Structure formats: structure tokens, C-alpha cells
Amino acid sequence: MSFEPIYSYISDKNIELVNPTVSQHDAVLEAALPSKNIIRQMTKVTDASKNVLQFLCFNSPYGGSFFQSLLMLEQKLNQEDIDMVYLFHMDTSHYDWIKDLISQGKNIYFLTGNFSKDIFTVRDILVKHNIKYIHAHFAGLKYLFLLNVASKLYSKQTFILRHLRNHDKPRGFVGESLRKMLNKVDLYIGCSESVADEYKKNFRVEDKKITHVTNAINFNRLNKFENLRRVDFKIAADTKVFLLFGFDYYRKGVDVVLEAMDRLVAEGHDVCLLLSLSTNREMIESKIEARFSKIPDWLRILSPRDDIASYYLLSNYFISASREEGFCNSLVESAYCERPIISSNIPGQGSLNIPHTFKFASENIDELKDAMIGLMELTDAQKSQIVTEQKEYVIKNFDLDTWAEQITHVYKNLN
């Protein structure tokens, strides 16, 4: 199959349009959006294929478990002659993993950032690839509105699905009024049961318009790693090493873990914290320096890497101190990598039900410190039993193939 060049928008040569210009696009848009902000819907036909557009507000140096799940889904759909197309909210073509997808011949597109132009970018993609399902990930009100307008300018029936990644609640009367007016979604999919249940309750969503498919992990990805040496990170052989992912300083509870570490060191414990940051490094380092006057000797700030198992295996234990999570991939990954885990006791993490998880009340520094001491006091036999049972549990309950089958089933039942 030949592969067309990737552009940040669909060029006119890719779509049959009569004298396509930006001014004509704007004229059509004005016709579709009259003064009362009521979108005029075209007469729809129902002979669209079952092809899927994945809309991704996702800007990361690595695709990680999230994108691995989409690739598995694409593989499942392709077996049924269903195509999948990827549209990013911005140009992310500079990342190596995106370049790899392009070289493989994946259908990859990017928005331009020009709202009116992007409406027609989406519409043209819908036409070009005969799309039926638009599946939005990490998308806020602005982009959901854009998808709705574009779908109204498309002659075939489409269904918009919004994947819910975190717990949410209404943002006041004005925000909720805008959401109801602009945010037409045919089906909400929670990444966990707790996310779906809370969204349904908080936003009064009908049962038939919301479901959940529990996230899953590509465990094969975790079988590829580099054996990192502690000496290269200036970590002694006997030091107890904790790992934390903290791109969001507050939501991920980085501040809580730093305080617990500081207290452990003050008590004489030989510990080290690995803090892996995929984004916001400069901002987070400035916060740490403001608190401790410098980067503490017991802290190692790490750059992101795709073979994330290398970091799990460099550590002894893993901590997720998040204040909010819809589904914590890293807790499942660390359990697979046979590292005992500590988790803040919040709904999105508690519902994982991974056995032998050491828990603490969110933001409670003393409880976290006690949990860390508890892990360090485990005997080798206790640790061996814990990691064995945790790994067996996550393999059984978070299989990626099952997730892809469930999402495929959701598409088929949405008509």
C-alpha cells in the first residue's frame, strides 16, 4: 500500500472540493453557525463504513501504554476490514515515535491551530476515510465543539465517543450550560468503573450514554529494558530506591513524596528517590529548589524513556501519591515488573484492587512515610510472595487484548 506524505492539514488535492479556499470555508462555516449558535445539520445518510477516527489531545515524547492500546485496537479492527485514522490536536511529527508510525504507513494527521481551518481539516478527513466513529481522548470542550461542527458538515452519520480519563465534576452554572450547548457526545467511556460512575452521577448522564472499559497494559512492552547500573546514578548498592512519575507536580503528589523522603533521611534511613519527568522539568525543579534550597542529595531527576521497565528495575519500590487518577497505568506496570507498590487511597487507584498494595490517605505525609518503612522492612520471602501474587493478578485482569475486544464491541453496538 502506498503512503501519502503527512501534512499538518489535508491539502485540497486530497479531497474533491469546488474551488476550495479559506474564504469559502469561512462562508460555509458561517452558514452552519447562524446567529443563535444552532448548528444546521446536513441531511445524513447511514451508509458510512465503520472506520474510526481517533482524535488525540496527546503531546508526549513517547506513546507509552496509551498508544500501545490504540495500536492493538487498530490491529483488531483491521481484521474486520475496518480502518483507523489518527488525528493529533497539534503537530507532534517531530517525535521519533510519531515518525515511526508515519514510516509504517499509518494514517496520521495534525490540526493546524486555526480553528476555522481545522473544522474543514476534520471534515475532509471524515470524507477521505469514510469515518463513522470519532473517538476523542483527553479532549476538552473546545475540541469536542470542533468535532461536532465538522461532523455536521459531513453527509454521513457519525458517532462521537468521549473517553473519560479522570474523575470530573461540573464547573458552575456557566460552564455546565456551555457544556450542554456545545458538547454533543453520543457515548462516554470511562477508563475505569469509578470514573464512569462518578461522571454519570455528577453530570446526570443517562445509563445508555455511558459505559466503562477498564484500561489495560501492553505487558510485552515491559519485557524490553536496559539493565541500568546504580553506580551510573551515584546510588549505593544497599540504598533503598523508590520510583515516582511526576510530570504534574501537584496532581501526582510529588510534594507529598518529597516531604516523606526528607523525613526518612532525617531519621537516618538510607533512601533515594528516582523522579521521572516526561514534561515540566524546569518548573518542577524550581519548585524543589524553592523548598530545599537545592536539589537534595537523595533525589535523582530522570529523563523519560520508552523502555520504562528499565526504571522500574533500577528501583526497589514504586510510589503513586496522586491526588487524582482515573486509572494508574504505572501501578499495574510496576506490579508486572515485580516491584512492591505504595498507593494513595483514592478511587481510581483503589479500584485496581492489586493485592498487597501498601496504602496511605492522600496527602498524609506520615502515613506515606510509614508505608515506605513498611516496604523496607519486608523480608525477602515476604517480598517474593507479594510480587508473585501482584504480577499474576495484573496479567489476569489488565490484558490489552481484552481491552481491544471490549472497545470493538462498544463501536459495534453504537448505531
6-44 pLDDT, tens digit per residue, is 333 233 223 223 233 334 454 444 444 433 333 445 556
pLDDT grade, residue 108 (50/70/90)?
Answer: very high
Domain-by-domain residue ranges, the chain? 12-216+400-412, 220-397
Per-residue pLDDT averaged across 323-333, rounded? 96
| 215-251 pLDDT tens trace | 999 999 999 999 999 999 999 999 999 999 999 999 9
- Higher-pLDDT residue of 45, 360: 360
By residue count, the chain amounts to 415
CA-CA distance, 42 to 63, in Å (whole number)? 36
Cell numbers at residue 410, please?
462498544
Q: What is the pLDDT of residue 46?
A: 58
C-alpha 127, offset from chain centre: 27
CATH topology of domain 12-216+400-412: Rossmann fold (3.40.50)
CA-CA distance, 90 to 73, in Å (whole number)? 22
Per-residue pLDDT averaged across 262-286, rounded? 97
What pairs with residue 276 in β-bridges? 245, 302
Domains 12-216+400-412 and 220-397 alike in fold: yes
Q: What is the pLDDT of residue 48?
A: 60
Indicate whether 342 pLDDT > 50: yes
CA-CA distance, 211 to 197, in Å (whole number)? 9
Q: What is the pLDDT of residue 172?
A: 74
Q: What is the pLDDT of residue 170?
A: 83
Indicate whether 199 pLDDT > 90: yes
Q: What is the pLDDT of residue 32?
A: 44
Q: Does domain 220-397 have CATH number 2.60.40.1080?
A: no
Q: What is the pLDDT of residue 1?
A: 39
Place of cell 482515573: 326
Q: What is the pLDDT of residue 161?
A: 98
Q: What is the mean pLDDT of the chain?
A: 89
SS (H, E, C) the chain: CCCCCCCCCCCHHHCCCCCCCHHHHHHHHHHHCCCCCCCCCCCCECCCCCEEEEEECCCCCCCHHHHHHHHHHHHHHHCCCCCEEEEECCCCCCCHHHHHHHHCCCEEEECCCCHHHHHHHHHHHHHHHCEEEEEEECCCHHHHHHHHHHHHCCCECCEEEEEECCCCCCCHHHHHHHHHHHCCCCEEEECCHHHHHHHHHHHCCCHHHEEECCCCECHHHHHCCCCCCHHHHCCCCCCEEEEEECCCCCCCCHHHHHHHHHHHHHCCCCEEEEEECCCCHHHHHHHHHHHHCCCCCCEEEECCCCCCHHHHHHCCEEEECCCCCCCCHHHHHHHHCCCCEEEECCHHHHCCCCCCCEEECCCCHHHHHHHHHHHHCCCHHHHHHHHHHHHHHHHHHCEHHHHHHHHHHHHHCCC
How many Cα atoms sit within 13 Å of 196 on the Cβ side?
Answer: 20
Q: Which of 61, 113, 57 is nearest to 87 (CA)?
A: 57
Cell numbers at residue 243, please?
520510583
User: Any idea of the CA torsion for 128, 65, 227, 256, to the nearest 10 degrees?
Assistant: 130
